[in-house]
A and B are shown apart, each in its own frame.
Chain A
Amino acid sequence: MAFLEIDQLSAFYGKARALSEINIDVEQGDIIAIIGANGAGKSTLLDSILNLTQTQGDIRLEEKSLTDLPRSKIVGCGVGYATERFNLFPYMSVQDNLLVGAFTARDTIEQNLSLVYKLFPRLQERKKQESGTLSGGERQMVSLGRALMTSPRLLLVDEPTIGLAPRVCVDIAAALRRLNEETGLTIVITEQNVNFATRIAKYLYVLETGKVQMSGTTDELTSNNELIEAYFGQ
């Protein structure tokens, strides 16, 4: 049994089907990337894991079904989510944003704060600053840090590089890799930036119009001419 099993998952917005019978297995300690263009269903897939959309099918974390759990319980089960638009609390300080992340993980606040500040020292420098005044890269760090404050066993990161300068993307990639190597955290990211995804992920899933079109190890797919043509423009 895989650590995370997404089994025949379909998702809907009203009557419109956004995802069709998705099957994804993620082993513990892996980083996987779901790549695809805008509107492919990447964010919907991550939202579905948190029960933020209407779904059919099953999602299991260590064999425990998440599908019927309330969202707060899913977070309590160890699912941290850094959303695409960050969804920060703009008038709250960086530290208070992080502390909201600890809402279901109050016993591990000190150790998680120390992990976040070690990973992103800039956040410690700016811990009293309102998050609404931060740069895009810093907001991404707060978003990731806030997800880490939930004490996740599975970290979902939606388009971590969107709108960020290349230099910041490198820092974010390094932080995610370091997190995975040092803590063994399982990470699922979605990306349009295939270069970024292939740099950090072990497995890739290619999503198109709500369906998985291709999947395999990063090495397999980066030697696939069809994928190279579609996403690398070569």
Chain B
Amino acid sequence: MIQILIQGLLLSGLYALIAVGFTLIFSVGRVLNLAYASYLMVGGYIYFYVVQTQGMPKIVGMVVAVLMGCLMGMLMYRAMVKPLKGDHVAVEISTLILAVVIQAGIVLLFNDSAKILHPILPGVWHVGGATVTLNILTATVVSWLILGGLYWFVRKTHTGRAMQAVSMDAKGATVCGVDADRINLITWGISGGLGALAGVFFASYTQLSPNMWVTPLIIAVAVVIVGGIGSIVGTLIVAHIIGFMEIISTTLIAAELRGVFTMLLIIGVLIISPKGLFGREELG
């Protein structure tokens, strides 16, 4: 029981980190970025290259991964999303195609075999009869710190308030002197950085492979649909619901059921409450 409780808590923290970058972009820019999970893949592979191929310190690997994720997010906005602005279907198709292209690029550079990422923090922690790897514990603690920081940033800083403002009323933000284009660029950068960091943790929890972007994308979509697009707190709560559901179903029923209840939850929420359980379409 304790094992389920602890594993559920830890996995949920990671899921929240995976989903929050996705919800940021939709809330501010009204764009479903289906290439979002490729930030995770790129982040994981960059970390692998810097730390395990080049032998550099783990913190350097993380910083490089986050910076590349930011850069990738901003480039994607400038080169693809901005020119297609207003055409949501075109953006969704383009981002999905881009994810496949990035996957092909990863295969070209690193081949298609799965790779094991060394734990970010090796070792285990025994608590109340349960065993927890320090790797997933680190991932969760960092996730919580980042989500707390992001919540503070969005609520308490001028740029964060401007992000909320753009998500709620673009003209209102413009007449306040907010440059919506710049705010979108910043949001895409933050989202890319968060995605890349989530990718490092996710890959260290599972493994690196060129198709590793599919599962995080489903998690992100599920958390966002069930939690309600735009709600950071909703994202956090639903990440926990999904995290616990996965741990309970795979531990107590069958490992093959991983993801099944998540899908059923998406369908159920879409039927009962299409805006999500906590949702609105604005950031907050």
Query: Whole-angstrom distance between the alpha carbons of A87 and B169 in the complex?
Result: 6
Within 8 A of A (CB), among B129-181: 158, 161-162, 164-165, 168-169, 171-179
Q: How far is the CB of B184 from chain A (nearest CB, A)?
A: 13
Query: Whole-angstrom distance between the alpha carbons of A92 and B156 in the complex?
Result: 12
Q: How far is the CB of B234 from chain A (nearest CB, A)?
A: 12
A211 close to chain B: CB less than 8 A: no
Known A72-B179, A103-B158, A106-B158: A88·B172 in contact at CB below 8 Å? yes
B284 close to chain A: CB less than 8 A: yes
**Contact check: which of B165, B171, B177 meets A92 at CB < 8 Å?**
B165
Within 8 A of B (CB), among A61-96: 70-72, 75-76, 80-81, 83, 86-92, 96
A116 close to chain B: CB less than 8 A: no
Which B-chain residue is minimally distant from A77 (CB atoms)?
A: B177
A32 close to chain B: CB less than 8 A: no
Q: Within 8 Å CB of B173, what residues of A?
A: 89, 100
Find out whether the CB atom of A70 lies under 8 angstroms from the CB atom of B174: no
B282 close to chain A: CB less than 8 A: yes
Instruction: Give the interface residue-count category, chain A.
Output: 20 to 34
Q: Mark B61-101, 1 if CB is under 8 A from A, else 0.
A: 00000000000000000000000000000000000000000
Which B-chain residue is minimally distant from A81 (CB atoms)?
A: B175
**Contact check: which of B171, B178, B282 meets A100 at CB < 8 Å?**
B178
Q: Within 8 Å CB of B115, what residues of A?
A: none
Instruction: Give the interface residue-count category, chain B.
Output: 10 to 19
Q: Within 8 Å CB of B58, what residues of A?
A: none
B275 close to chain A: CB less than 8 A: no
Find out whether the CB atom of A91 lies under 8 angstroms from the CB atom of B282: yes
A9 close to chain B: CB less than 8 A: no
Query: Whole-angstrom distance between the alpha carbons of A149 and B158 in the complex?
Result: 13
Q: Mark B181-215, 1 if CB is under 8 A from A, else 0.
A: 00000000000000000000000000000000000
Find out whether the CB atom of B174 lies under 8 angstroms from the CB atom of A100: no
A52 close to chain B: CB less than 8 A: yes
Q: Within 8 Å CB of B284, what residues of A?
A: 91-92
Q: Within 8 Å CB of B164, what residues of A?
A: 89, 91-92, 96, 100
Query: Whole-angstrom distance between the alpha carbons of A191 and B179 in the complex?
Result: 28
Query: Whole-angstrom distance between the alpha carbons of A72 and B165 in the complex?
Result: 14
Q: Within 8 Å CB of A88, what residues of B?
A: 169, 172
B30 close to chain A: CB less than 8 A: no
A146 close to chain B: CB less than 8 A: yes
Find out whether the CB atom of B161 lies under 8 angstroms from the CB atom of A92: yes
Query: Whole-angstrom distance between the alpha carbons of A87 and B284 in the complex?
Result: 17
Q: How far is the CB of B236 from chain A (nearest CB, A)?
A: 17
B280 close to chain A: CB less than 8 A: yes
Query: Whole-angstrom distance between the alpha carbons of A184 and B175 in the complex?
Result: 22
A140 close to chain B: CB less than 8 A: no
Query: Whole-angstrom distance between the alpha carbons of A83 and B169 in the complex?
Result: 12
Which A-chain residue is minimally distant from B169 (CB atoms)?
A: A87
Q: How far is the CB of B200 from chain A (nearest CB, A)?
A: 33
A188 close to chain B: CB less than 8 A: no
Find out whether the CB atom of A103 lies under 8 angstroms from the CB atom of B176: yes
Q: Within 8 Å CB of B172, what residues of A?
A: 83, 86-89, 100
Query: Whole-angstrom distance between the alpha carbons of A105 and B176 in the complex?
Result: 10
Find out whether the CB atom of B158 lies under 8 angstroms from the CB atom of A71: no
Known A87-B169, A89-B169, A91-B284: A71·B174 in contact at CB below 8 Å? yes
Find out whether the CB atom of B175 lies under 8 angstroms from the CB atom of A83: yes
Which A-chain residue is minimally distant from B168 (CB atoms)?
A: A89
A28 close to chain B: CB less than 8 A: no
A50 close to chain B: CB less than 8 A: yes
Q: Within 8 Å CB of A89, what residues of B?
A: 164-165, 168-169, 172-173, 282
Which A-chain residue is minimally distant from B161 (CB atoms)?
A: A100
Find out whether the CB atom of A103 lies under 8 angstroms from the CB atom of B177: yes
Find out whether the CB atom of B168 lies under 8 angstroms from the CB atom of A71: no
Centre residue among B162, B175, B284 by max chain A CB count within 10 A:
B175
Known A88-B169, A92-B284: A76·B158 in contact at CB below 8 Å? no
Q: Within 8 Å CB of B169, what residues of A?
A: 87-90
Query: Whole-angstrom distance between the alpha carbons of A106 and B162 in the complex?
Result: 13
Query: Whole-angstrom distance between the alpha carbons of A99 and B162 in the complex?
Result: 9
Q: How far is the CB of B116 from chain A (nearest CB, A)?
A: 44
Q: List 5 A-B contacts (CB under 8 A).
A: A75-B177, A83-B171, A87-B171, A89-B173, A100-B161
Q: Which 6 A-B pairs have the closest CB atoms?
A: A87-B172, A75-B177, A104-B177, A89-B168, A81-B175, A72-B179
Residues of A within 8 A of B (CB): 50, 52, 70-72, 75-76, 80-81, 83, 86-92, 96, 99-106, 146-147, 149-150
